[in-house]
């Protein structure tokens, strides 16, 4: 079965062709970094316009790169939420048009389910497992029981981890997206130079909070000169901040495994591309006798291969979930059910 996946929930226009759920024939991503970077974050109206400009080019490129004709596609999988509504509508309407024109089924995919199943592009993980989805919009811990069976165990109560990376980068005068920049700066910084606060919340809670950490970094930057360690560099701040995020994420992963009696962990979403996080999770899991997996960085950040993969499994496990073309709608705040 050939699946064409489309993803336009945020600031990446992406299309991918996947054969039988595992053989990735193409994975095209047009990221809008140059559109948004000077604003320090995503401008929704500009994101929507850029998707309109790019969607057809990206689809054609994905077919060409896969050496597949449009009429050979058997199923379309498209992100229908959560995300920016103007962005989601571009991908969804393109998908509807193609499905209607070809007379083939369309599957609406939750963006988070795409992240949760991205690992299956590379590896078949045995169910059940703990999955941390850590991105610019989400920091959620799930128990994944099977395809389509997800139980949320904890989520952020304020900023997502990726959002805090982006905001701290902006405070340090850096561009969007801040995650990769902070990671690079942290390599030349001393994470021990200043210990930023870690929010663990109530005892046993698997929720997260990153806004206090972000405020603490802001306060520190503003008052840098009056502190005793006034010579802390931007790289030290980046390293100290990253350390605080990584430590909290690691502790909550271990807590989730212990609470659920599970030993398999998958970490996914844009922030899972972070080398320090990958190393730290691997090391704490090893120490606890747990096994951890991460999608390749290109499948951690937003992409359409993960949407094609989730759509393939959803269609095979629940063929009745095929969308009604006239009634399918996008939802900015879609939840996983």
**Residues found near Zn ion in the complex (CB under 5 A):** 135, 302
Q: Which of 179, 240, 295, 311 binds ligand KG4 (CB under 6 A)?
A: 179
Q: Which is nearer to ligand KG4, 36 or 98 (CB)?
A: 36
Three-state DSSP at 244 gives helix
Tokens, residue 243:
């350390």
| 101: exposed, middle or buried (Cβ count in 10 Å: 0-12, 13-18, 19+) | exposed
Q: Which of 113, 140, 159, 166 binds ligand KG4 (CB under 6 A)?
A: 166
Q: How far, rounded to the nearest angstrom, does the alpha carbon of residue 132 sit from its chain's CA centroid?
A: 10
Contact status, residue 105 vs residue 76, Cβ threshold 8 Å: yes
| Residue 217 Cβ vs ligand KG4, minimum distance, rounded to whole Å | 15
Q: How far apart are CA 109 and CA 89, in angstroms?
A: 13
| Residue 250 Cβ vs ligand KG4, minimum distance, rounded to whole Å | 14
| Residue 71 Cβ vs ligand KG4, minimum distance, rounded to whole Å | 31
Sign, Cα dihedral of 272, 243, 185, 43: positive
> How many residues would you count in the chain?
337
Three-state DSSP at 107 gives strand
| Residue 319 Cβ vs ligand KG4, minimum distance, rounded to whole Å | 28
Provide the edge-to-edge strand list for the sheet that holds 23-31: 23-31, 12-19, 2-7, 75-81, 106-110
Tokens, residue 314:
């959803």
Q: How far apart are CA 133 and CA 131, in angstroms?
A: 6
Is 304 near ligand KG4 (CB under 6 A)?
A: no
Is 162 near ligand KG4 (CB under 6 A)?
A: yes
Q: How far apart are CA 214 and CA 169, in angstroms?
A: 10
| Residue 180 Cβ vs ligand KG4, minimum distance, rounded to whole Å | 4
Q: Which is nearer to Zn ion, 207 or 302 (CB)?
A: 302
Residue 166 binds what, of ligand KG4, Zn ion, none (CB under 5 to 8 Å, by partner type)?
ligand KG4
Site string for ligand KG4, 98-137 (x = CB under 6 A): -------------------------------------xxx
Q: Which is nearer to ligand KG4, 163 or 243 (CB)?
A: 163
Is 41 near ligand KG4 (CB under 6 A)?
A: no
Residue 183 binds what, of ligand KG4, Zn ion, none (CB under 5 to 8 Å, by partner type)?
ligand KG4
Query: What residues make contact with ligand KG4 under the rule CB under 6 A?
Result: 10, 135-137, 162-163, 165-166, 177-180, 183, 269-271, 273-274, 301-302
């Amino acid at each position: 079965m050939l699946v064409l996946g489309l993803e336009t929930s945020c600031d990446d226009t992406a299309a991918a062709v996947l054969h039988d759920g595992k053989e990735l024939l193409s994975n095209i991503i047009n990221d809008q970094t140059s559109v948004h970077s000077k604003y320090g974050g995503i401008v929704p109206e500009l994101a929507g316009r850029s998707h309109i400009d790019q969607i057809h080019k990206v689809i054609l490129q994905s077919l060409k790169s896969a050496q597949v004709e449009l009429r050979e596609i058997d199923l379309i999988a498209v992100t229908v939420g959560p995300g920016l509504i103007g962005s989601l509508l571009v991908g969804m309407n393109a998908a509807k048009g193609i499905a209607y024109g070809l007379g083939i089924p369309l599957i609406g995919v939750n963006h988070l389910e795409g992240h949760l199943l991205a690992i299956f592009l590379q590896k078949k993980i045995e169910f059940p497992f703990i999955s941390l989805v850590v991105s610019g919009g989400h920091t959620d811990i799930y128990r994944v029981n099977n395809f389509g069976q997800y139980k949320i165990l904890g989520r952020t109560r304020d900023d997502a981890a990726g959002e805090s990376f982006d905001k701290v980068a902006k405070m340090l005068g850096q561009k969007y997206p801040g995650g990769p920049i902070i990671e690079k700066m942290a390599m030349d910084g001393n994470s021990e130079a200043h210990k930023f606060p870690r929010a663990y919340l109530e005892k046993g809670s698997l929720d997260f909070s990153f806004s206090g950490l972000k405020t603490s970094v802001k306060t520190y930057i503003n008052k840098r000169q009056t502190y005793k360690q006034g010579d802390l560099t931007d790289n030290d701040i980046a390293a100290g901040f990253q350390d605080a995020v990584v430590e909290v994420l690691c502790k909550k992963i271990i807590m989730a495994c212990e609470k659920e009696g599970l030993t398999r962990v998958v970490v996914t979403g844009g922030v899972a591309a972070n080398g320090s996080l990958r190393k730290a999770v691997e090391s704490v899991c090893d120490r606890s006798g747990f096994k951890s997996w991460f999608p390749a960085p290109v499948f951690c950040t937003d992409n359409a291969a993960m949407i094609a993969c989730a759509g393939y499994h959803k269609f095979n496990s629940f063929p009745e979930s095929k969308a009604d073309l006239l009634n399918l709608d996008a939802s900015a705040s879609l939840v996983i059910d």
